[in-house]
Chains A and B, each alone.
Chain A
Amino acid sequence: MHRTKVRIVEEALDANNTIAQANRADFDRAGVRVVNFMSAPGAGKTALLERVVADLPGVRVGVLEGDVQGSMDADRLASLHVPVTQLNTDAGFGGECHLDANMVRSALGELPLDDIDLLVIENVGNLVCPAEFRVGEDARIMVSSVTEGEEKPLKYPLMFRACELVLVNKIDLLPHLDFDLDRFLYNLDQVHPGVEHILVSAKTGEGIDEWRDWLVRVGSPAEAHV
Chain B
Amino acid sequence: MHELSLSGAIVNTVEKHAAGRPVSVVSMRIGALRQVVPDTLDFYFEFVARGTVCEGARLEQELIPARLRCGACEAEWGIEVPVFMCPACGPAGRIEVAAGDEFLVESIEVEEAECIAQR
Contact = CB atoms under 8 A, between A and B. Distances in A.
B114 to A, nearest CB: 6
B5 A98 contact: yes
B112 A1 contact: yes
B5 A129 contact: yes
Given A154-B82, A190-B82, A193-B84, A9 B111 contact: no
Given A13-B103, A97-B5, A128-B1, A4 B84 contact: no
A191 interface: yes
B107 A5 contact: yes
B22 to A, nearest CB: 9
A114 to B, nearest CB: 32
Interface in A82-100: 93, 96-98, 100
B8 A93 contact: yes
B85 A193 contact: yes
A15 B93 CA distance: 33
A4 B107 contact: no
A162 to B, nearest CB: 11
Interface string B36-74: 000000000000100000000000000000000000000
Contacts of A100: 5
B110 A4 contact: yes
Interface residues of A, number: 37
Interface residues of B, number: 42
Interface of B: 1-2, 4-6, 8-10, 12-14, 16-18, 21, 24, 28, 33-35, 48, 81-85, 91, 93, 95, 102-114
A198 to B, nearest CB: 19
11 contacts: A3-B111, A10-B13, A10-B105, A12-B10, A12-B28, A93-B48, A100-B5, A158-B35, A189-B91, A190-B82, A190-B85
B105 A5 contact: no
* Max chain B Cβ within 10 angstroms of own Cβ: one of A14, A153, A154: A14
